[in-house]
């Protein structure tokens, strides 16, 4: 038998031992064995035993027993900072003859180490409050109070402050991009990858003084490093923030904005965007940190990307069934899309208005962005037909079309659009609007309205040559899933009515050519959205 087979059998025997309720001194009613990509966790109520896998990812090295012991001890010591009463200690597991035992007196017999913890009640995790609809600002206030105290009591020295230098941060972001190249086309599309990388590089270039100021102000801390919903436990009498990163200081130490961005990003992922903004605002006040809001989108983009990377790595685990692998790839994809949203638009509510001549592909772009960025989409064509009580995918006859596209019906359509946009922006949600907006008077009226409610908005004009538009309109004649009623016969009339949006300022207008395939068009659009975002 080879050494590797022998080691594998020994590990399997250890897992069987730990799955047996009879081996534990307190004799739990049951034992549940859970695997993560870096640990084996044995839930034996009221305790939890966590064993680190014998792995080496480069940035994480548990490959020897000595290293696993060291990092178990580090895990206990570091986590007691924010969760003092949960971490009970490090338990040696020994093997003598053909059996295992806990707490042997002979160090030579030790084959593994486990972190022993108290089990936490499921109902008090932060994600549980979200799932049952009971999350309040008071919960977030308690988290903010604990974290603010934790950060403010630190006096970071040079060994910690170094992690706020651009070179150190760039090392982490570059590593992320290198480690996810092999997942392009699997969990992230190339145009998304390039856009997030472009945003990251441009942010570094344009904000060097801001990064330097963070170091000078000692906003760099020995933080938590993995501050997401599953690691925050809020009981009526106490709060526990546990399971920080112990295996790599450069992932734990850094700008406090990077620490806080993880939780803010996780709240956004759960569609708690108002709560996320509230949490960041509270932290900025408690820390007297006005620059926090300037940095949070950068670090939320980074955190979302890290989560996408981790889920991508997990999807390759040998223990995953095909179904589980697909689930993990889907989650990774969702996190990458959230990272892209931060890169393109930031965190605050924004209205994107896709406009342009018929056949320019504005609806294709609008729907695509709405789907991947999880932003509600409103189409003037859909609203118009819905108001008229007509089926979406059937082109009405000429007399019905005349009524449908009359000035009176257009007014009703745009009033309904205004109403929907008001509701969305007013509730803190972003929206994507798809409408021709061919007349300056229409655009001016809409702009005045948006300015009156202090909305953050951007017109995106889709552009294509007459030849390209005519080819698309010919193809549309045979399509059955098109909402728009514009056809080849309408081209000259509609083109003649279209007034170029020259009156819109550069701060509220970008244009994108749609002559190429969708991926190339998206790459161009994403770059322009990043540039616009960074100018704001």
Within its chain, how far is the Cα of 432 from the centroid? 19
Q: Work out the average pLDDT over 139-150.
A: 98
Would you state the pLDDT for residue 366?
A: 96
Would you state the pLDDT for residue 504?
A: 95
Q: Please name the residues in contact with 97: beta carbons below 8 A apart, sequence gap of 6 or more.
A: none
* Token representation of residue 503: 């009156």
Segment 464-516, tens digit of pLDDT: 998 988 887 777 777 777 767 555 566 676 676 889 999 999 999 999 999 99
Q: Please name the residues in contact with 88: beta carbons below 8 A apart, sequence gap of 6 or more.
A: 47, 116, 117, 118
Of the candidate CATH numbers 3.30.1240.10, 3.40.50.300, 3.40.50.2300, 3.40.50.620, the domain formed by 351-518+526-535 belongs to 3.40.50.300
Segment 515-528, tens digit of pLDDT: 999 999 999 999 99
pLDDT-derived band at 1, boundaries 50, 70, 90: very low
pLDDT-derived band at 3, boundaries 50, 70, 90: very low
pLDDT-derived band at 159, boundaries 50, 70, 90: very high
Checking if the pLDDT of 7 tops 70, the result is no
Low-confidence winner among 260-274, 377-391, 421-435 (lowest mean pLDDT): 377-391
* Token representation of residue 371: 């789907």
Q: Which CATH class is domain 124-345?
A: alpha beta
Question: What end-to-end distance do the CA atoms of the chain give, in Å?
Answer: 65
Q: What does the DSSP assignment read for 173-225?
A: HHHHHHHHGGGBTTTB-HHHHHHHHHHHHHHHHH-HHHHHHHHHTT-EEE--S
How many Å is the maximal CA-CA distance in the chain? 93
SS3 for 120-181 is CCHHHEHHHHHHCCCCCHHHHHHHHHHHHHHHHCCCCCHHHHHHHCHHHHHHHHHHHHHHHH
Would you state the pLDDT for residue 51?
A: 97
Residue 512 in contact with residue 521, Cβ under 8 Å?
A: yes
Supply the mean pLDDT for the chain: 91
Would you state the pLDDT for residue 86?
A: 95
pLDDT-derived band at 2, boundaries 50, 70, 90: very low
Q: Work out the average pLDDT over 14-42.
A: 93
Q: What are phi and psi of 303, to 5 degrees?
A: -65, -40
What is the rounded CA–CA span in Å between residue 452 and residue 340? 29
pLDDT-derived band at 406, boundaries 50, 70, 90: confident
CB atoms within 10 A of CB 389: 6
Low-confidence winner among 235-239, 322-326, 399-403, 482-486 (lowest mean pLDDT): 482-486
CB atoms within 10 A of CB 56: 12
Q: Work out the average pLDDT over 443-461.
A: 93
Low-confidence winner among 45-49, 337-341, 389-393 (lowest mean pLDDT): 389-393
Please state whether beta strands 110-118 and 47-52 pair in parallel, antiparallel, or not at all (unpaired): antiparallel
Q: Please name the residues in contact with 114: beta carbons below 8 A apart, sequence gap of 6 or more.
A: 42, 49, 50, 51, 72, 90, 91, 93
Percent of the chain with pLDDT over 90: 73
Q: Please name the residues in contact with 336: beta carbons below 8 A apart, sequence gap of 6 or more.
A: 187, 188, 192, 196, 304, 305, 308
Q: Please name the residues in contact with 365: beta carbons below 8 A apart, sequence gap of 6 or more.
A: 354, 460, 462, 512, 514, 521, 522, 525
Q: Work out the average pLDDT over 229-247.
A: 95
Would you state the pLDDT for residue 320?
A: 80
Strands (E), 435-491: 457-463
Residue 287 in contact with residue 214, Cβ under 8 Å?
A: no
Distances from the Cα of 234 to the Cα of 80, 86, 124, 241, angstroms: 16, 13, 5, 9
What is the rounded CA–CA span in Å between residue 105 and residue 276? 49
Q: Which residue has the tokens 């060097």?
A: 208
Residue 61 burial (CB < 10 Å; 0-12/13-18/19+)?
Answer: middle
pLDDT-derived band at 169, boundaries 50, 70, 90: very high
* Token representation of residue 135: 């999350």
Nearest residue to 75 via CA among 244, 261, 240, 198: 244
Residue 366 in contact with residue 377, Cβ under 8 Å?
A: yes
Q: What are phi and psi of 219, to 5 degrees?
A: -90, 10
What is the rounded CA–CA span in Å between residue 369 and residue 526? 10
Low-confidence winner among 80-84, 102-106, 254-258, 478-482 (lowest mean pLDDT): 478-482
Would you state the pLDDT for residue 108?
A: 79
Q: Please name the residues in contact with 493: beta carbons below 8 A apart, sequence gap of 6 or more.
A: none
What is the rounded CA–CA span in Å between residue 382 and residue 317? 44
What is the rounded CA–CA span in Å between residue 293 and residue 280? 7
Q: What does the DSSP assignment read for 61-128?
A: B--SHHHHHHHHHHHHHHHTTT-TTTEEEEEEEEEETTEEEES-S-GGGEEEEEEEEEPPPGGGBHHH
Segment 46-88, tens digit of pLDDT: 999 999 999 998 889 999 999 999 999 999 999 999 999 999 9
* Token representation of residue 264: 């803010």
* Token representation of residue 406: 């009359």
What is the rounded CA–CA span in Å between residue 533 and residue 393? 36
Residue 50 in contact with residue 243, Cβ under 8 Å?
A: no
Domain positions in the chain are: 3-119, 124-345, 351-518+526-535
SS3 of the chain: helix, strand, coil, percent, to 5: 55, 15, 30
Would you state the pLDDT for residue 9?
A: 62
Nearest residue to 50 via CA among 63, 64, 70, 33: 33
Checking if the pLDDT of 13 tops 50, the result is yes
């Amino acid at each position: 038998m080879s050494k590797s087979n022998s080691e594998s059998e020994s590990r399997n025997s250890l897992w069987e031992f730990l799955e047996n309720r009879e081996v534990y001194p307190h004799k739990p009613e049951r034992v549940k064995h859970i695997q993560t990509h870096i640990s084996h966790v044995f839930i034996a109520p009221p305790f939890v035993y966590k064993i680190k896998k014998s792995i080496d990812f480069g940035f994480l090295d548990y490959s020897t027993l000595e290293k696993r012991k060291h990092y178990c001890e580090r895990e206990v010591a570091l986590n007691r900072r924010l969760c003092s009463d949960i971490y009970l200690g490090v338990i040696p597991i020994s093997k003598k003859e053909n059996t295992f035992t806990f707490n042997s007196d002979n160090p030579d017999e030790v084959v593994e180490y486990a972190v022993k913890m108290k089990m936490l009640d499921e109902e008090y995790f932060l994600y549980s409050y979200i799932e049952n609809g009971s999350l309040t600002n008071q919960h977030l206030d308690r988290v903010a109070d604990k974290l603010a105290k934790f950060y403010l009591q630190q006096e970071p020295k040079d060994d910690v402050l170094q992690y706020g230098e651009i070179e150190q941060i760039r090392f982490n972001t570059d590593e992320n991009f290198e480690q996810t190249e092999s997942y392009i086309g699997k969990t992230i599309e190339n145009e998304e990858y390039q856009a997030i990388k472009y945003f990251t590089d441009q942010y570094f270039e344009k904000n060097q003084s801001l990064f330097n100021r963070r170091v000078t102000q000692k906003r760099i801390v020995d933080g938590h490093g993995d501050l997401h919903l599953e690691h925050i436990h809020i009981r009526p009498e106490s709060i526990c923030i546990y399971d920080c990163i112990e295996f790599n200081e450069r992932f734990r130490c850094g700008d406090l904005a990077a620490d806080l961005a993880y939780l803010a990003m996780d709240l956004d992922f759960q569609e708690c965007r108002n709560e996320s903004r509230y949490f960041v605002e509270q932290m900025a006040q408690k820390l007297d940190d006005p620059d926090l809001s300037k940095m949070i989108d950068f670090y939320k983009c980074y955190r979302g990307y890290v989560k996408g990377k981790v889920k991508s790595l997990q999807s390759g685990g040998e223990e995953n069934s095909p179904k589980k692998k697909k689930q993990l790839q889907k989650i990774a994809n969702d996190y990458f899309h959230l990272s892209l949203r931060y890169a393109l638009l930031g965190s605050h509510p924004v209205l994107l208005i896709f406009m342009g001549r018929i056949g320019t592909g504005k609806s294709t772009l609008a729907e695509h962005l709405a789907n991947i960025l999880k932003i509600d989409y409103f189409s003037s064509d859909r609203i118009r037909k819905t108001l008229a009580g007509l089926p979406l995918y059937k082109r009405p006859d000429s007399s019905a079309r005349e009524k449908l596209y009359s000035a009176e019906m257009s007014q009703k359509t745009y009033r309904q659009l205004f109403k929907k946009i008001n509701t969305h922006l007013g509730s803190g949600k972003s929206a994507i609007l798809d409408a021709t907006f061919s007349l300056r008077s229409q655009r001016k009226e809409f702009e005045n309205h948006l300015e009156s409610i202090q909305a953050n908005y951007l017109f995106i004009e889709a552009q294509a040559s007459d030849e390209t538009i005519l080819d698309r309109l010919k193809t549309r004649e045979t399509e059955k899933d098109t909402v728009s009623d514009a056809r080849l016969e309408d081209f000259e009339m509609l083109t003649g009515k279209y007034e170029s949006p020259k009156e819109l300022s550069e701060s509220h207008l970008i244009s994108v050519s749609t002559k190429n395939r969708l991926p190339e068009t998206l790459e161009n659009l994403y770059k322009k959205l990043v540039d616009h975002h960074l100018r704001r």
